[in-house]
Amino acid sequence: MNGTTEVNTPARAVLSMLPCFLFLYVNGVMLFALLRKPLLLESSRYILFGHLLLTDSLQLVVTMLLYLFAVTMVRMVSYVCIFVTLFATITVKMSPLNLAVMSLERYVAICFPLRHADIATSRRMGVAIAVMWSVASLESFIQLFLFVSLENISFTLPRFCNKNSVLRLEIYTTLNKAFTIISFVLVSMIIIYTYIAIMQTVKSASSNVCKARKAHKTVLLHLLQLCLCLTSTLFNTINSNGPSNINPAMAARLRYGLFLALIIFPKCLSPLIYGLRDRTFRHVFKYYFTFGFRTTDKTFPES
């Protein structure tokens, strides 16, 4: 216990968050770049990309807070913990849903180009985002309802805030596994279907082949992003089933390594690759990321 306390001092905990702050800054710059270019936000594609950045950034912030609470052994009341952890669960489930809608948007753009402007309007993107939040929140609302119905007790957590310490009944674990499996299976089916449909369009297209090929590569990238999202689900499994007889200091370093590798890196790598791959957005992002020193085009800051 003393070794754990020594490793997990507040100063070291904050220093360990430096890579997370860097990635959060990158996401923040990408969001700022989108907001500074209203013309980009008129496109359904960039609306969904901006929403992906927002939800991933929210997940990073909540995850960092939970990690800091854990390593500094901050104790809290059960009701506070359950709201924080359930919100974190919602943000985790938002990423794959957002990727599915982004793939559908590219599918409509390539397979039904004449109807794309009528289908993928800004208003419908707003409705799609509202539906995504509702679907992602469903499991958390059910778990909160079950907690209030079955337990409804307020207690101070003996160690630190995590989902398993406050939602202790087996029904919560079963519910989480069911929703996670259903979500990733449905999202995978949507992305794979849109990829195959766009591939067939690429083969049969006689015009605008370049755009179609770029779209099928984009959907393939969404499949890669989905795999990165899956890695975050491995963290709790490995962390909870890890060896308990190793040195506390080594255990803390191992948890931090898993935290970076399975949660932080995938969440930052996914939107960064997607954003830098887009030629239009790449120039805007580079301008703001380097404070305007890496480009001579002064039109980017204009709204």
DSSP calls for 211-257: HHHHHHHHHHHHHHHHHHHHHHHHHHHHHHSS-SSS-HHHHHHHHHH
SS3 of residue 43 by DSSP:
coil
What pLDDT digit, counting tens, does each position of 67-108 carry?
777 777 777 887 888 888 899 889 888 988 998 898 899 889
What pLDDT digit, counting tens, does each position of 122-142 carry?
899 999 999 999 999 999 999
Q: Which two tokens stand for residue 284?
A: 């805007």
Q: Is residue 296 part of a domain?
A: no
At 288, the amino acid letter reads Y
Contact 143, 86 (CB under 8 A): yes
Instruction: Look up the pTM and report it.
Output: 0.81
Running DSSP on this structure, what letter comes out for residue 260? I
Q: Which range (43-47, 117-121, 130-134, 293-297) has the least confidence?
A: 293-297
pLDDT category at 6 given cuts 50, 70, 90 is very low
Q: Is residue 41 part of a domain?
A: yes
Q: Is residue 218 part of a domain?
A: yes
What pLDDT digit, counting tens, does each position of 8-17 carry?
456 666 666 7
What pLDDT digit, counting tens, does each position of 239-292 carry?
555 555 566 667 667 777 777 777 777 767 767 777 777 777 787 888 887 776
Domain tally, the chain:
1
Q: Which range (42-56, 76-90, 193-207) has the least confidence?
A: 193-207
Strand partners, 77: 156
- Distance from C-alpha of 251 to C-alpha of 237, rounded to nearest angstrom: 15
The CATH number that applies at residue 208 is 1.20.1070.10
Domain of residue 101, residue span: 2-151+168-289
SS3 of residue 156 by DSSP:
strand
